[in-house]
């Protein structure tokens, strides 16, 4: 595609096509066959299956390559690899939690399973879809490489050539490597466990030769929502992107409950649409209304459940459907603490959200990477607002253009997957990145690209705060580009004691909503002492009491929400105090056994008061 045509498509549809042209959105609304379950594995720390003894990448037909199936025909035949029990591993799942040998392992593990060709018609194609693999994946089918992907938290897929797919016993191999590198996203330095493996769902997706690959159906964000509510007339707009250009086809849309039936002629590989409807029940935190939406291309359909709402900033306020909303948030890592593993299922999402609802929160910050697709989907149905971000974290190589490209790719993949989720109101481009001219150029580029790819949501990042002249002054230059001013503060944990909050003064340079994206203190569940004792539940409770008082008494009038750090204790190799941490970040309001700490109830009471005051 020529650049001029690409830019025209971005202008017309509001979607940047580059880098995501082959990604299929909403696989849950399509015909699929799950490849989850038991796979076989080989641990390969020396990369023997990928390189020969001269450390050259093996040829595709090399019998020693671990992507090739060995078939013994006579006694003199031999090999030095194979896939069989008891070397079994569960997919989806991280390898760290499945066997003690993997706890700290960073390197290559080969995954393998067989599958039969799914039932399909002659005019259908098959795609192999991965929800996520951490971090680098090379995928092979029947000895042929389908492709590779980098990025541990975003989906990818490969089209399976028809001639490669056998009726029985297709030999699927995935080389997974989770080693950390300075030029990757995230970089070598993080504060969470580097869970390796095929951590999310794997499936075959059956689609027609020509199909709807991506789409965006939304409430028209340009309309005055108050006037629309009064007139009971709402605008809906969006776009559809096909997998390839067509010369004469028809795309139809149906929203049965709204009595919507639309037909559009399409020439090329995309179209945009806009129309009016009456009496929409707007999606909100106390009314998480979702409508069944069906999109068809020449009779083949993809279905979804979509909520219609408007999120915007008006000066110092965040507005949801025209009304100011305070974000009663909580930060979450994608972990099930009782089992010290990656969360990967609908059941896992339900466990995490049950705690969120009990806390009386109306918002979650999914840190510090896009979480499993079950999380935003379940938030849609529960009426929980979502902040989701890419792992541009701490000290990545901001001066490296290749690193920027990787961040942009992960950003596009995140947006492509979740752009139809009403719950997602904030795209975040990073966390705690150190201020410099190079960094600000890098980060502002991501902000601008986010707004171009999806102008229907807010964009933010966890900014830096300056401490000077006895005050906390927020003047991070990245705040000029973001829609809200978000920052992480730990006054009373990393600086002073909790009572320092009594005299703290806060100011912001920007006339924008002010959001505390992190605040918290560590406490080992069940450890009790005087409140001055670090890591006691009493200290953490004291910390939250002082923070809440500061929020109420000394925060600026643009204070629009908070997402304390963090809902549950999580694994981190950085946290090695033998008495209180033992490889766990203990800032959770709930400990790694699922027990609520004293501070949970302090925040719960604050949120209850805010909810009663606001009425939502």
pLDDT score of 466:
67
CA distance 82 to 206: 30
pLDDT score of 17:
35
pLDDT score of 614:
84
Asked if residue 67 lies in contact with residue 140, where contact means CB atoms within 8 angstroms, the answer is yes
CA distance 447 to 438: 14
Name beta bridge partners: 274.
Answer: 237
* Cβ atoms within 10 Å, residue 128: 22
CA distance 324 to 309: 13
* Ordered DSSP codes for 217-274: EEE-TTS-HHHHHHHTEEEEEEEEEEEEEEEEEEEEEEEGGGTEEEEEEEEEEEEEEE
Report phi then psi at 562, rounded to 5. Answer: -155, 140
The three-class DSSP label of residue 492 is coil
pLDDT score of 472:
85
What secondary structure letter does DSSP report for 338?
G
pLDDT score of 13:
37
Could you give the dihedral angle defined by the CA atoms of residues 600, 605, 610 and 613, in that order, rounded to the nearest 10 degrees?
A: 160
pLDDT score of 207:
96
pLDDT score of 153:
98
Asked if residue 394 lies in contact with residue 190, where contact means CB atoms within 8 angstroms, the answer is yes
Report phi then psi at 57, rounded to 5. Answer: -60, 130
Q: At what angle do helices 346-358 and 374-382 cross, to 10 degrees?
A: 40
* Cβ atoms within 10 Å, residue 53: 8
Residue 545 makes CB contacts below 8 A (sequence gap 6+) with 498, 602
CA distance 243 to 136: 25
Domains, in order of start, for the chain? 212-309 (2.60.40.10), 313-614 (3.20.20.80)
Token pair of 286 as six digits: 């106390």
The H or E element containing residue 10 is helix 3-13
Residues in the chain with pLDDT values less than 70: 1-21, 466-470, 616
pTM of the model: 0.94
| Three-state secondary structure readout of 495-525 | ECCHHHHHCCCEEECCCCCEEEEECCCCECC
* Cβ atoms within 10 Å, residue 538: 19
| Three-state secondary structure readout of 144-186 | EEEEEEECCCCCEEEEECHHHCCCCCEEEEEEEECCCCCCCCC
pLDDT score of 22:
86
CA distance 453 to 475: 27
């Amino acid at each position: 595609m020529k650049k001029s045509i690409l830019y025209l498509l971005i202008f017309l549809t509001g979607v940047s096509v580059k880098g995501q042209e082959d990604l299929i959105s909403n696989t849950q609304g399509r015909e699929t066959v799950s490849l989850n379950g038991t796979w076989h594995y080989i641990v390969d720390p020396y990369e023997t299956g990928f390189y020969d003894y001269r450390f050259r990448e093996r040829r595709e037909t090399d019998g020693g390559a671990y992507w090739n199936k060995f078939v013994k025909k006579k006694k003199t035949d031999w090999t030095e690899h194979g896939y069989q029990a008891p070397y079994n591993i569960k997919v989806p799942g991280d390898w760290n939690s499945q066997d003690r040998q993997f706890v700290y392992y960073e390197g290559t593990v080969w995954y393998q399973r067989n599958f039969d060709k799914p039932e399909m018609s002659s005019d259908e194609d098959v795609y192999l879809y991965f929800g996520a693999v951490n971090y680098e994946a090379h995928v092979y089918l029947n000895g042929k490489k389908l492709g590779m992907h980098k990025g541990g938290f975003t989906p990818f897929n490969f089209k399976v050539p028809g001639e490669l797919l056998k009726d029985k016993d297709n030999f699927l191999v995935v080389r997974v490597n989770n080693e950390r590198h300075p030029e990757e996203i995230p970089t070598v330095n993080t504060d969470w466990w580097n869970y390796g493996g095929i951590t999310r769902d794997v499936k075959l997706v059956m689609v027609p030769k020509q199909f709807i690959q991506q789409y965006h159906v939304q409430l028209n964000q340009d309309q005055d929502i108050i006037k629309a509510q009064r007139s009971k007339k709402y605008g809906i707009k969006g776009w559809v992107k096909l997998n390839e250009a067509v010369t004469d086809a028809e795309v139809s849309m149906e929203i049965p409950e709204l009595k919507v039936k639309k037909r559009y002629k399409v020439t090329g590989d995309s179209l945009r649409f806009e129309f009016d409807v009456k009496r929409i029940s707007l999606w909100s935190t106390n009314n998480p209304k979702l409508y069944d939406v069906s999109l068809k291309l020449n009779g083949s359909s993809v279905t979804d459940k979509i909520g219609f709402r408007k999120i915007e900033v008006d000066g110092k306020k965040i507005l949801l459907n025209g009304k100011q909303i305070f974000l009663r948030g909580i930060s979450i890592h994608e972990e099930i603490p009782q089992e010290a593993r990656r969360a990967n299922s609908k059941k896992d999402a339900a466990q995490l959200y049950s705690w969120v609802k009990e806390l009386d929160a109306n918002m979650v910050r999914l840190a510090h990477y896009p979480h499993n697709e079950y999380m935003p989907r379940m938030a849609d149905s529960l009426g929980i607002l979502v902040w989701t971000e890419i792992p541009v974290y701490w000290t990545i190589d901001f001066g490296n253009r290749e690193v920027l490209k990787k961040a942009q790719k992960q950003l596009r993949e995140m947006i492509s997957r979740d752009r139809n989720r009403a719950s997602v109101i904030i795209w975040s481009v990073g966390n705690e990145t150190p201020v410099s001219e190079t960094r600000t150029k890098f980060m502002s580029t991501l902000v601008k690209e986010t707004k171009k790819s999806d102008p229907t949501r807010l964009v933010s990042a966890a900014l830096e705060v300056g401490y000077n002249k006895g005050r906390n002054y927020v003047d991070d230059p990245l705040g000029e580009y973001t829609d809200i001013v978000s920052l992480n503060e730990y006054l009373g944990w990393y600086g002073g004691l909790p009572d320092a909050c009594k005299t703290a003064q806060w100011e912001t340079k920007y006339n924008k909503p002010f959001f505390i994206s992190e605040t918290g203190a560590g406490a080992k569940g069940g450890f009790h002492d005087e409140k001055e004792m670090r890591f006691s539940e009493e200290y953490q409770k004291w910390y939250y009491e002082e923070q809440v008082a500061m929020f109420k008494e000394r925060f600026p009038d643009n204070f629009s929400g908070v997402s304390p750090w963090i809902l549950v204790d999580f694994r981190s190799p950085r946290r090695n105090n033998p008495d209180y941490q033992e490889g766990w970040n203990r800032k959770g309001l709930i400990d790694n056994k699922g027990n609520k700490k004293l501070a949970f109830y302090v925040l719960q009471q604050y949120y209850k008061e805010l909810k009663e005051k606001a009425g939502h």
